[in-house]
Structure 1
Amino acid sequence: MRKKAGVLVIVLMFIALTVLGDRYLNRSAETNLYSGTIEGTELPVQPELGGRVVELLIQEGQMIKTGDIIAKLDDSQAKISLDIAKSQQIQAQAKLNDLLGGVRAEELRRLEHLVNQAKANLSALEPTLKFEEETLAANQKLYESGALSKQALDAQQNKLDTLKAQYQGAQASADAAQASLDQAQAGFTQPTIQAQKAAVDIAVQSVKTAELGLSKHTIKSPASGQVLYQNVESGQVVNPGTTLATILNPDDLWIKIYIPGAKLGQVKMGGEVSIAADAYPDKSFKGQIQYISTQAEFTPKNVQTKEERTKTVYAVKISITEGKDQLKAGMPADVTLE
C-alpha cells in the first residue's frame, strides 16, 4: 500500500512539473524580452582651421557645457591679419570723410603753390630755350660757310634737345598741377564718392572676416556632456578637421536591439518599452522606439546564442526617455516590448 502511495506521489509531482514547465515555456515564448547595451551619442570636437595647440582646457571624464572652451590654437598670425584689416578700414574711412567734407583750405593753398612753382619753372626755361635756339641757327650758318666744325654743330644740337626735354617735362608738371587744382576747386564728383564708399564697405567686411578667422582659433564645445576622449596634447600641430576631443551627450541615451522578422509586426514607431538595467534590479525605466530598420540582417554574434546567429533580424533603436540621470552609457540592459 505504501509502495502504491509513493508511486502516486511521484506521478502527481511529474504532472505538476510538466504543467508548470509548459506554463513557464509558454510565458517565456510570449515574453518580448531583448538584451542590449546602453549607448550615448558621441560628438567629435574638430577645428575648422589647423595650427599648433597652445592651450588644452579639458580632461577625460570632465563634465562641460555648450560653449565651454576646449582648446586654443596659435592665433598670432590671425591677430596680425585683423590689425591690418582695421588699419585699412581707418584709412578708407578717412579718405571718404575728406571727400564728403570737401577740400581743406590748406590743401588748396598747397595745390596753388605747386601750380605757381611749375609756371615759374617754365618762365625760367623760356629765355634759355630761346637763346639756345638762336645759337643753333647761327652755328648752322657758320657750319655751312666752313667756319664751324660738324662736331661743334652737333654739340649745340644736343644741348638744345636736352633743354627742350626739360621744358616739356616742366610743362607736363604745370598741366598736372593745374588739373589737380581745378578738381579741388570744383569738388569731387559723385562717382568718386560712391567708389570710396564701396571701398569702405569692403574694408568693413575684411575686418569681419579677420575677426571670424581669429575666433575660430578658440575651439568651443558644441554640446553639454562628458569628455569621453582627449585625442591631442598641448603643443601638438593639428590639421583642419582633426578630432581634438570626443564629447558624450548624456541626454541622448539609446539602446539597439534586434527583433526577429516573425515579431516585427509587434513593433511600432513611437511605441513605449520598459528598460531594466543590472545596476537597478528593482527599477524599470521607459523608452520609446525611435527607429526600425527596413533591411534584414544576420543577428550580431555578441547578442544571441550560436543557434540563433543564422536567423535574420531587424535592428530597432530605442531612445531612453526616463532615468537619464541614473542610466549610463555602457550599462547592459534588458528591453521589454509592451
Structure 2
Amino acid sequence: MKKKVLAVIVVLGIIAGSVWGNSYFNHSKTQDVYSGTIEGTEIPVQPELGGKVIDLKVEEGQMIKAGDVIAKLDDSQAKISLQTAQSQQTQAQAKLDDLLGGTRAEELRRLESVLAQANDNVAALAPSLQLAQNNLANDQQLYKSGALSKQALDTQQNQYDTIKAQYDAAQANVNAAQASLDQAQAGYTQPTIQAQKAAVDIAAQSVKAAELNLSKLTITSPANGQVLYKEVEQGQVVNPGTTLITVLNPNDLWIKIYVPEAKLNKVKIGGTVGIAVDSYPNKTFKGQIQYISTQAEFTPKDVQTKEERTTTVYAVKISITQGKDQLKAGMPADVTLD
C-alpha cells in the first residue's frame, strides 16, 4: 500500500514538474515575443513648382512604376519662358559669330559714309563760325570805344556761342565716326569677344534653366508602389511642396517593437527575428533588426497592458526580409527574437 502511495506521489510530482516546466518555458518564451503592426514606407509625391493640375493620371489603389507620369501642371508660361530664352541665345550667338568673322565690307562702307557726312557738317559750319568770330571781335572793339551798346554786344556773343556749340558737336561726331571706323578696320578686341562669349554662355544657361522648369511640371513617380492616397483633384491649383499623392512602397515593409532594457542583450543590429501573422498561422517569416533606439522611453499605451506601460523600453525597427508578397502593411504581427 505504501508503495502504491509513493508511486502516486512520484507520478503527481512528475506531472506537477512538467506543468511547472511548461508554464515556465512558455512564460519565458512569451517574454521574447513582441507585438507590432506591419508598416510600409510611404512616399509623398510633391511638385517643386506650383500651378494648376491639368491632368491627374492615377487613382487610389493603382499600382505604378518609377518614372510613370502621375500628373501634369499647366506649362503654358514655362513654354513661353523657354522660347524667350532660346531666342536670346540665338541673338547672342549671332553677335558672337559677327565678332569672330570680322567686320563685313558693307559695314565698313557705312562707317566711311558716316565719317564723310560728319566731316561735311564740320566744313559747312566752319565759314559761319569764322564769320561769327570776326563779327564778335569787331563788336568788342566798337563796345570799347563806346560806339556799340552792351545789349548789341551780348546779342553778337550769343550768336557766336550758338554757332561754336554746333561746330563742336559736329567735330565730336567726326571723332566718334573716325573711332568706329578705326575699330572696324582693326577688328574687334579680345575683351569685346570674350564679353560676348560670356553673354552666349549666360543665354545657354538660361535655356537649360527654362527646360528644367518645364520638365518639373510633369510629375513622375519616384518609386514602384501602390497609390495609397490621392490628395488633390484635376483642376486644382497647388503650391510647391503640396502632396499630390502618397505612394506605398510594398518592398520596404517593417515593424517597430518595444524591447525592455533587460532584454536588450538579445537584440543587435543585423540580428534575425521570426515574424508571425494571423493570416498564416503555421508559417514564420524572417526579419532583420535594422535600428535600435539609443534613448529609452516608456512603452506606448497601445502596445502593452496598463502595468507594463510604465516599463522602460527601447524602440527596435525590424525590416521584413521574407514573405513580402504575402505580408501587407497594416497586418498585426508577433515578433520572436532568435
TM score, norm. by length of structure 2: 0.88
Whether 1:293 and 2:274 are equivalent positions in the alignment is no
Change (3 A) 1:283 1:155: same
How far apart are the structure 1 equivalents of 2:143 and 2:267?
A: 121
- Give matches, 1:163-174, under 5 Å: 163-174=163-174
Most deviating of 140-149 and 166-175:
140-149
Change (3 A) 1:264 1:129: same
Change (3 A) 1:312 1:145: closer
Change (3 A) 1:26 1:164: same
Q: Secondary structure at the match of 1:281?
A: strand
- Give matches, 1:305-316, under 5 Å: 305-316=305-316
Whether 1:337 and 2:337 are equivalent positions in the alignment is yes
26, 29, 32: which is aligned to 2:27?
29
Change (3 A) 1:133 1:278: same
Change (3 A) 1:35 1:148: same
Whether 1:257 and 2:257 are equivalent positions in the alignment is yes
- Give matches, 1:1-338, under 5 Å: 18-19=16-17, 21-31=19-29, 32-140=32-140, 150-338=150-338
How far apart are the structure 2 equivalents of 1:312 and 1:64?
A: 42
Task: Letter of the 1:90 partner, please give it.
Answer: T
Task: Letter of the 2:95 partner, please give it.
Answer: K
RMSD of the alignment, in Å? 2.7
Instruction: Give the deviation of 1:17 after TM superposition.
Output: 6.5
How far apart are the structure 2 equivalents of 1:158 and 1:194?
A: 48
How far apart are the structure 1 equivalents of 2:250 and 2:303?
A: 24
How far apart are the structure 1 equivalents of 2:34 and 2:120?
A: 105
How far apart are the structure 1 equivalents of 2:309 and 2:151?
A: 114
Task: Letter of the 2:20 partner, please give it.
Answer: D
Q: Secondary structure at the match of 2:282?
A: coil
Task: Letter of the 1:97 partner, please give it.
Answer: D
Task: Letter of the 1:332 partner, please give it.
Answer: P
Most deviating of 221-230 and 316-325:
221-230
Instruction: Give the deviation of 1:175 after TM superposition.
Output: 0.7
| Structure 1: tracts of 5 or more residues without a match | none
How far apart are the structure 2 equivalents of 1:130 and 1:112?
A: 27
Structure 1 runs of 4+ aligned residues shifted over 6 Å read: 10-17
User: 1:237-292: per-residue Cα shift (whole Å, max 9, x none)?
Assistant: 33332222221111110111222222221222212222121122232211111122
Instruction: Give the deviation of 1:12 after TM superposition.
Output: 10
User: 1:88-125: per-residue Cα shift (whole Å, max 9, x none)?
Assistant: 22122111111111100010010000011111111111
Instruction: Give the deviation of 1:139 after TM superposition.
Output: 4.4
How far apart are the structure 2 equivalents of 1:323 and 1:266?
A: 24
How far apart are the structure 2 equivalents of 1:93 and 1:238?
A: 38
TM score, norm. by length of structure 1: 0.88
Q: Secondary structure at the match of 2:240?
A: coil
Once the two structures are aligned, what percentage of the paired residues are identical?
A: 71
Task: Letter of the 2:46 partner, please give it.
Answer: Q
| Structure 2: tracts of 5 or more residues without a match | none
Change (3 A) 1:307 1:147: closer
